[in-house]
Structure 1
Amino acid sequence: MSTDAPRKRSVADEPVTSVLPGGDVPYDPTHEFDADEEVLAALGYKSEFKREFSLFTTFCVSFAVLGLLPSFASTLYYGMGYAGTAGMTWGWIVAMVGIQCVACSMAELCSSMPTSGGLYYASAVLAPPGWGPLAAWITGWSNWLAQVTAAPSVNYGVAAMILAAGSIQNPDYVPTEYQTFLLTVLLMLIHGVMSSLPTKWLAQINSGGSTFNFIALIIVIIMIPAGTDRESRGLPRFTSSSEVWGTIYEGTSFPPGISVLMSFIGVIWTMSGYDSPFHLAEECSNANIASPRAIVLTSGIGGLLGWFLQLIVAYTVVSIDDVLESDLGQPFAAYLMQCMSQKATLAILSLTIIAGFSMGQGCMIAASRVTFAYARDDCFPLSSYWKKVNTTTRTPVNAVWFNCVIGIILLLLIFGGELAVGALFSIGAIAAFVAFTTPIFIRVFFVGHRFRAGPWNLGRASIPIGVVASAFVALMVPILCLPSVTGADLTPDMMNWTCLVYGGPMLFVLVWWAVSARKWFKGPKVNVQHLMLGRAENVVEGVGEGKAGERESDGEMPELGLTGSTDKPPELK
Structure 2
Amino acid sequence: MAERNASVYSTGGRRKSVAQEPITSVLPGGDVPVNDSGQEWNADEEVLAALGYKPEFKREFTLWTTFCVSFAVLGLLPSFATTLFYGMGYAGTAGMTWGWLVAMIGIQAVAASMAELCSSMPTSGGLYYASAVLAPPGWGPFAAWVTGWSNWLGQVTGAPSVNYGTAAMILASASVQNPAYVPSNYQTYLLTVLLMLIHGCMASLPTRWIARVNNAGSTFNMIALIVVIILIPAGTDRVSRGLSKFNPSSAVWGDIYQGTDFPAGVSVLMSFTGVIWTMSGYDAPFHLAEECSNANIASPRAIFLTSAVGGTFGWFLQLVVAYTVSDIPAVLDSDLGQPFAAYLVQVLPQRLVLAVLSLTIVAGFAMGQGCMIAASRVTFAYARDDCFPFSKYWKHVNTVTHTPVNAVWLNNLVGNVTLLLIFGGGIAIGAIFSIGACASFVAFTTPIFIRVFFVGNRFRPGPWHLGRFSLPIGVVASGFVVMMVPILCFPSVTGSDLNAATMNWTCVVYGGPMLAILLWWFVSAHKWFKGPKVNVDHLMLGQGEIIDGKDVSERDSGSNDDGVKLRGDVKPGALVD
TM more than 0.5:
yes
Corresponding position of 1:556: none
Task: Give CA deviations for 1:138-195 in whole Å, capped at 9, x if unaligned.
Answer: 0000000000000000000000000000001111111000000000000000000000
- In the alignment, does 2:35 pair up with 1:28? yes
The equivalent position to 2:232 in structure 1, one of 224, 228, 235, is 224
SS at match of 1:160: helix
- In the alignment, does 2:117 pair up with 1:109? yes
- Which residues of 2 match residues 352-363 of structure 1 at below 5 A? 352-363=360-371
SS at match of 1:391: coil
The equivalent position to 2:560 in structure 1, one of 527, 536, 540, is 540
TM-score (norm 1): 0.91
Task: Determine the C-alpha separation between the residues in 1 that align with 2:25 and 2:314.
Answer: 33
Corresponding position of 2:70: 62
- In the alignment, does 2:260 pair up with 1:252? yes
TM-superposed CA distance for 1:118, in Å, is 0.1
Corresponding position of 1:379: 387
Task: Determine the C-alpha separation between the residues in 1 that align with 2:366 and 2:208.
Answer: 16
- In the alignment, does 2:415 pair up with 1:415? no
Task: Determine the C-alpha separation between the residues in 1 that align with 2:538 and 2:420.
Answer: 48
Contact 1:83 1:259 in 2 (8 A): yes
- In the alignment, does 2:569 pair up with 1:562? no
- In the alignment, does 2:501 pair up with 1:493? yes
Corresponding position of 1:271: 279
TM-superposed CA distance for 1:524, in Å, is 0.1
Letter in 1 for 2:238: R
Contact 1:116 1:279 in 2 (8 A): yes
Contact 2:33 2:564 in 1 (8 A): no
TM-superposed CA distance for 1:528, in Å, is 1.5
Task: Determine the C-alpha separation between the residues in 2 that align with 1:395 and 1:475.
Answer: 38
Q: 1:530 to 1:450 in 2, by over 3 A?
A: closer
What is the root-mean-square deviation of aligned Cα atoms in Å? 2.2
Runs ≥4 in structure 1, deviation > 3 angstroms? 6-14, 545-548
Q: 1:72 to 1:154 in 2, by over 3 A?
A: same
TM-superposed CA distance for 1:16, in Å, is 4.8
- Which residues of 2 match residues 2-401 of structure 1 at below 5 A? 15-16=24-25, 24-28=31-35, 30-401=38-409
Task: Give CA deviations for 1:370-399 in whole Å, capped at 9, x if unaligned.
Answer: 000000000000000000000000000000
Task: Determine the C-alpha separation between the residues in 1 that align with 2:26 and 2:538.
Answer: 19
Corresponding position of 1:569: none
Task: Determine the C-alpha separation between the residues in 1 that align with 2:41 and 2:117.
Answer: 23
Contact 1:134 1:518 in 2 (8 A): yes
Task: Determine the C-alpha separation between the residues in 2 that align with 1:75 and 1:547.
Answer: 54
Letter in 2 for 1:212: F
Task: Give CA deviations for 1:533-555 in whole Å, capped at 9, x if unaligned.
Answer: xx99522127xx9999xxxxxxx
Aligned length: 541
SS at match of 2:533: coil
TM-superposed CA distance for 1:26, in Å, is 3.0
- Which residues of 2 match residues 411-490 of structure 1 at below 5 A? 411-490=419-498
Task: Determine the C-alpha separation between the residues in 2 that align with 1:277 and 1:338.
Answer: 38
Contact 1:228 1:237 in 2 (8 A): yes
Corresponding position of 1:523: 531
Task: Determine the C-alpha separation between the residues in 2 that align with 1:452 and 1:209.
Answer: 36
Contact 1:16 1:111 in 2 (8 A): no
Task: Determine the C-alpha separation between the residues in 2 that align with 1:353 and 1:28.
Answer: 47
Task: Determine the C-alpha separation between the residues in 2 that align with 1:290 and 1:547.
Answer: 31
Contact 2:82 2:165 in 1 (8 A): yes
Letter in 1 for 2:32: V
Task: Determine the C-alpha separation between the residues in 2 that align with 1:48 and 1:15.
Answer: 24
The percent of aligned pairs where both chains have the same amino acid is 74
Contact 1:14 1:39 in 2 (8 A): no
Contact 1:17 1:562 in 2 (8 A): no
TM-superposed CA distance for 1:316, in Å, is 0.1
TM-superposed CA distance for 1:202, in Å, is 0.3
Letter in 2 for 1:27: V
Task: Determine the C-alpha separation between the residues in 1 that align with 2:167 and 2:81.
Answer: 12
Letter in 2 for 1:28: N
Contact 1:15 1:453 in 2 (8 A): yes
SS at match of 1:58: helix
SS at match of 2:157: helix
Task: Determine the C-alpha separation between the residues in 2 that align with 1:165 and 1:146.
Answer: 29
SS at match of 2:501: helix
TM-superposed CA distance for 1:15, in Å, is 2.9
Unaligned runs of 5+ in 1: 1-5, 549-558, 567-573
Contact 1:49 1:395 in 2 (8 A): yes
Contact 2:6 2:557 in 1 (8 A): no
TM-score (norm 2): 0.91
Task: Determine the C-alpha separation between the residues in 1 that align with 2:132 and 2:422.
Answer: 36
SS at match of 1:452: coil
